[in-house]
Amino acid sequence: MPYLAYDPATGEIVGAVKDSPEWAANKAAKGFSVLRTERMADPVGDYVLNGEMKPKVLVTFTPDKALITADGAEQAVVSVSVAGESPPESIAVLVGDIEQEVALSGGQGQTKPIAATTPCTIEIDVADPITYRAEPVEVEAISGE
């Protein structure tokens, strides 16, 4: 049976191996918690909650515009979709460096309008990459000249 090692404070999986008690003991000695699991852990797609390995929840971002004019007036909105049978009522996302709580209804929601006054690229991603997994998207603000 496989082993996985994870950060006990966050649930983030830091490694996995097919069957090596020595590896597990080494990780435990370094302060990580260790579990034996039925299947091999995927550090990108799994995390640990209450001592149990769980799949990360998939979040999809879809911007209505990938390019906006950096004039402070033109805006983009990013639709947020959270997969699963029981999606949360809201999810924290990062819009650039700013955390924004997005209200969800049936797993669907959208960011507040995004605008810029100078050319830049604004990345939208999940604020909690341990519980959720997503492919970040970008909105680029370009000069209107």
Cβ atoms 102, 95 nearer than 8 A? no
Q: Are strands 137-142 and 67-69 parallel, antiparallel or unpaired?
A: parallel
Show the tokens assigned to 84: 């699963």
Both tokens assigned to 14: 């830091």
Query: Domains (ranges, CATH) in the chain?
Result: 3-55 (no CATH), 57-142 (2.60.40.10)
Calculate mean pLDDT across residues 135-144. Answer: 94
Share of the chain above pLDDT 70, in %: 99
pTM here is: 0.84
In three-state secondary structure terms, 44 is: coil
Within the chain, where are the H helices?
Answer: 21-29
In whole angstroms, what is the distance from residue 127 CA to residue 133 CA?
10
pLDDT score recorded for residue 85:
86
Task: List pLDDT tens digits, range 53-98.
Answer: 999 999 999 999 999 999 999 999 999 999 988 999 999 999 999 9
Dihedral angle, C-alpha 31, 34, 18, 11, nearest 10 °: -90
CB 73, CB 36: distance < 8 Å: no
In whole angstroms, give the CA distance from residue 72 to residue 68: 9
Is the pLDDT at 16 greater than 80? The verdict is yes
Angle 100-122-133 (CA atoms, 0-180°, nearest 5)? Answer: 60
